[in-house]
Amino acid sequence: MKLKHLGVAIMIAAASFVAPAFAETPADPLNPIIWADVPDVSVIRVGDTYYMTSTTMHMNPGVPVMMSKDLVNWDIIGYCYQDLMEDSLNQNAKNQLTLTNGQNEYGKGTWASCIRYKDGTFYVSSFSNTTGKTYIWTSKDPQKNDWKLYSTLPHFHDHSLVLDTDGRNYIIYNGGDRKIRELSADLKSVKQGGVDQMLLSRADTNKDLGLSGNYLLEGSQMHIINGKYYLFNIAWPNGKCRSVFCARADKLMGPYETRMVFQCEGIAQGGLVDTPDGKWYAMLFGDRGGAGRIPFLVPVTWKDGWPMIGTDGDGKTLPKLPINVKHKEIPGCCASDEFDRKAGEAALPLVWQWNHVPVKELWSVTARPGWLRLTTGNVVRDLEAARNSLTQRTFGPVSTAEIAIDVSKMKDGDYAGLSSFQKQYGFVGVKMLDGKKTIVMCTPGGGAGGRGGFGGGFGGGRPQQGAAPQQPSGANLTEVASVPLEGNIAYLRVECDLRPQDGKNCADLNPGRRDKSYFYWSKDGKTWTRIGNSISMPYSMPHFMGYRFAIFNFSTKEAGGYVDVDYFRLGTKLSDASK
């Protein structure tokens, strides 16, 4: 019998096992809008529908497009690209994109996108630090996920696409002073002899705001509102948190005057959006530890022609949202998956992304209908180098994931399982060594910090007792604990506690947060046993993103083994109220 069709009884038993939810209720139950890694947000409204793009860097497919009817609940409706592979790329870029020959693109890939709409066409632009190019994709109907690559331009860092009212097109960019280049009328190229100049300098901003320092102006988004030009930027003024600066002008080329419009808990970078009934909001993001960079929606009050953000436009506090909608318990960018597929359905729902470009021949949901098959295709030393790891975002305040996995076809030296994945990862999985299968809890080689990990380490632990763990000589892992596996089906569980330690959303990246992952295994999917230690979940480079749940299978000795995953199930309750 297929495991998932043991179904209702198992789920009821599992539900009776976990304790009631005990996460603190935020001051505003709607903010953050999405308690998950959705950074560098760009948002527009077309009619009564809102569209938003963001950054997922080295994940594929890339540049997610999300949709909402209420500005609070967002669902992924498509991606601008499946991958950035093309024949013209140099071999180094190809290696980075595909996680091969010791190369990777962690923290690179596509950054800060920009979504715009004009004359019945949606435009999304983004740039890749891997390929060194800027891309523009177009769609007539994003709900059909029909995005096509429209043009390729030179690399424009942290840019904003400007489709001006006079029919001319520009791109505002740079990682410091803001520059502007004119594009061709068809957006296919940089216009020869067109505008190419400084638009806004730090010196100008310092003069207007009475600041000093050589901080960056970055994350720009341009809005044209009632004939005026509003350029949103972020910066880190000396001794202050990341802040939102708005530069305003009557003409695109200026001159601009600048005002600080929001400085609160480091919530910054994003832009403006209005509602059909004339209300205005800023969609911004804030760094929140292991969850990543998460979106906040903040009311905007217009004062003397300036879009002031915060309580009554005070520019410094985060008010409760005046929106009367229900917030989803699990955000729309995440979902459980039984891997059952009906005729005509996509192989994978849009909530899934691969870590780097996958090998299509090495995964399937049809080889064994109702199961996800992952086959190893090369030999690596650790999870960071493993190809075809399938991921979803972790989410706050508490999120859990479970899988059931058939490991009967693993080869010697293989590892397969479920991870809380970032630079400083941890995983619970099955290891095949010398013909024996064991359930193991592992961290990167060299200890909790891994190779170049940032801070953190093991949390409080009740490690599984047993013989000293052994690992293949080629593995670069620290096996914290192990226990023999009976049979060929393993039930694995990862729990993530992303709550603020003091009940508040602190502005710092890591201090003051729980940010812990815990690891479990089960003989039957009903009764769970903790294994190994918890790990800390610091937001760290080079991954430059929040933690992900990752289903993986990699070989340290011989490629060709495979595993079948029966289901992936998300939850919102921790199993141990003492944590």
User: pLDDT tens, 20-36?
Assistant: 333 344 678 999 999 99
For residues 145 and 464, which has the higher predicted lDDT (pLDDT)?
A: 145
User: pLDDT tens, 567-576?
Assistant: 999 999 998 7
* pLDDT given at position 502: 58
Q: Whole-angstrom Cα distance, residue 256 to residue 375?
A: 56
Q: How long a stretch of residues is the chain? A: 579
Answer yes or no: is pLDDT of 8 > 60: no
Answer yes or no: is pLDDT of 13 > 50: no
As beta bridge partners, residue 479 has: 442
User: pLDDT tens, 344-361?
Assistant: 999 999 999 999 999 999
State the average pLDDT for the chain.
90
Is residue 554 within 8 Å of residue 401, measured between CB atoms?
no
* pLDDT given at position 17: 35
Provide the 10 A C-beta neighbour count for residue 7: 12
Structure tokens at 188: 């296919």
Q: Whole-angstrom Cα distance, residue 330 to residue 351?
A: 12
User: pLDDT tens, 484-525?
Assistant: 999 999 999 999 999 986 544 444 444 467 899 999 999 999
When pLDDT is averaged across residues 115-135 and rounded to a whole number, the result is: 97
Name all domains of the chain by residue range, CATH numbers in brackets: 3-21+343-571 (2.60.120.200), 42-313 (2.115.10.20)
Q: What angle do CA 62, 149, 192 make, to 5 degrees?
A: 120
| Strand order, beta sheet including 243-249 | 218-225, 228-235, 243-249, 257-262
Sole residue written with tokens 């497009």: 65
Is residue 60 within 8 Å of residue 130, measured between CB atoms?
no
H runs (alpha helix) in 18-166: 91-98
Does an H or E element contain 207, and which? helix 202-209
When pLDDT is averaged across residues 35-43 and rounded to a whole number, the result is: 97
The 3-state DSSP class for residue 96 equals helix
* pLDDT given at position 235: 87
- Is residue 216 packed enough to be buried (19+ CB in 10 Å), middle (13-18) or exposed (0-12)? middle
Alpha carbon 24 to chain centroid, angstroms: 23
Structure tokens at 2: 């297929």
Q: What angle do CA 328, 334, 336 make, to 5 degrees?
A: 100
* pLDDT given at position 433: 96
- For residue 202, which of 159, 229, 230, 233 has the smallest C-alpha distance? 233
When pLDDT is averaged across residues 299-320 and rounded to a whole number, the result is: 96
Q: Which amino acid is at 238?
A: N
User: pLDDT tens, 394-447?
Assistant: 999 999 999 999 999 999 999 999 999 999 999 999 999 999 999 999 999 974
When pLDDT is averaged across residues 228-237 and rounded to a whole number, the result is: 92
DSSP assignment string, 224-242:
EETTEEEEEEEE--TTS--
- Is residue 238 packed enough to be buried (19+ CB in 10 Å), middle (13-18) or exposed (0-12)? exposed
